[in-house]
Amino acid sequence: AQSVAQPEDQVNVAEGNPLTVKCTYSVSGNPYLFWYVQYPNRGLQFLLKYITGDNLVKGSYGFEAEFNKSQTSFHLKKPSALVSDSALYFCAVRDKRGSTLGRLYFGRGTQLTVWP
Amino acid sequence: GAGVSQTPSNKVTEKGKYVELRCDPISGHTALYWYRQSLGQGPEFLIYFQGTGAADDSGLPNDRFFAVRPEGSVSTLKIQRTERGDSAVYLCASSLTRRLAGGPNTGELFFGEGSRLTVL
């Protein structure tokens, strides 16, 4: 079963506008949630994570994400997009069930394009 | 080194050949992960080491795939009798191990730039 879903393959936004990249998860309880970014021909870079505590987490490059337990979502947001934010974004979840304690499940990715 | 290092960055081989991919994690990181990423897909879990031992190898697709980490640092992913379907980018990641009340690792993964494998 899919543990994490990114419903949009692509998101397009104008520079200066707010952006949202959506992520929902399907594991039980309160999972650990992560966002990564991948630039062309580069490895994945960590942006932010939710482990416990405040539902709103802030990360690198002005990004933030909000953990919403009732909607099982962890959407990535930024108040004002930059052209340099254009990249592939991955949501990931770490399950707390015993047999897969270390495994990180990734979504399929969302291509963000910010035009000038 | 400063980051996770993977070699080779590119490997082209023929169907049926044997391939080794190497990962040098960040110094001091006890956890090491191998993932595989195909075009248009998210990374797919293969195996996870905690120290020298494979804590979870359930993502390895079949017995042609094997990975080792004999001294708890460098890891090698080995693929026997390669098939065209093995073509992908193989990603290695490492992390510190931090746990809350004995739960899962809370540490984020640091990824290398990957080894692109092409099987002709």
Prior bond of B8 cis (ω within 30°): yes
CA A39 to chain centre: 15
Non-local (6+) Cβ contacts of B72 within 8 A are B30, B49, B51, B52
**Strand ranges, E, within A1-116:** 4-5, 10-14, 19-21, 24-25, 32-38, 44-50, 56-58, 64-68, 73-78, 87-94, 104-106, 110-115
Mutate which of B108, B110, B113 to disrupt the A interface (most A C-beta within 10 Å)? Answer: B108
A35 interfaces chain B, CB cutoff of 8 Å: no
CB contact at 8 A, B89 and B115:
yes
* pLDDT < 70 stretches in chain B: 1, 98-105
The whole-number pLDDT of residue B101 equals: 61
The whole-number pLDDT of residue B36 equals: 96
The whole-number pLDDT of residue A2 equals: 52
The whole-number pLDDT of residue B103 equals: 61
Q: Which residue has the tokens 């953990």?
A: A67
CB contact at 8 A, A44 and A56:
no
The whole-number pLDDT of residue A109 equals: 96
* pLDDT < 70 stretches in chain A: 1-2, 29, 96-102
Non-local (6+) Cβ contacts of A92 within 8 A are A4, A33, A34, A35, A36, A104, A105, A106, A107
Non-local (6+) Cβ contacts of A114 within 8 A are A12, A13, A14, A15, A19, A81, A82, A83, A84, A85, A86
Q: What is the pLDDT of residues B51-74, one digit of tens each?
A: 898 888 999 999 999 999 999 999
B91 to chain A: closest CA residue: A43
The whole-number pLDDT of residue A30 equals: 73
Q: Do B45 and A42 touch (CB under 8 A)?
A: no
> In angstroms, what separates the C-alpha of B112 from chain A's closest C-alpha?
5
A102 interfaces chain B, CB cutoff of 8 Å: yes
Nearest by CB to B113, which of A43, A102, A105?
A43
The whole-number pLDDT of residue A6 equals: 96
Non-local (6+) Cβ contacts of A97 within 8 A are A27, A28
Tokens of A2: 């899919």
CB contact at 8 A, A43 and B91:
yes
Which DSSP symbol is given to A42?
A: S
Mutate which of A44, A47, A95, A111 to disrupt the B interface (most B C-beta within 10 Å)? Answer: A44
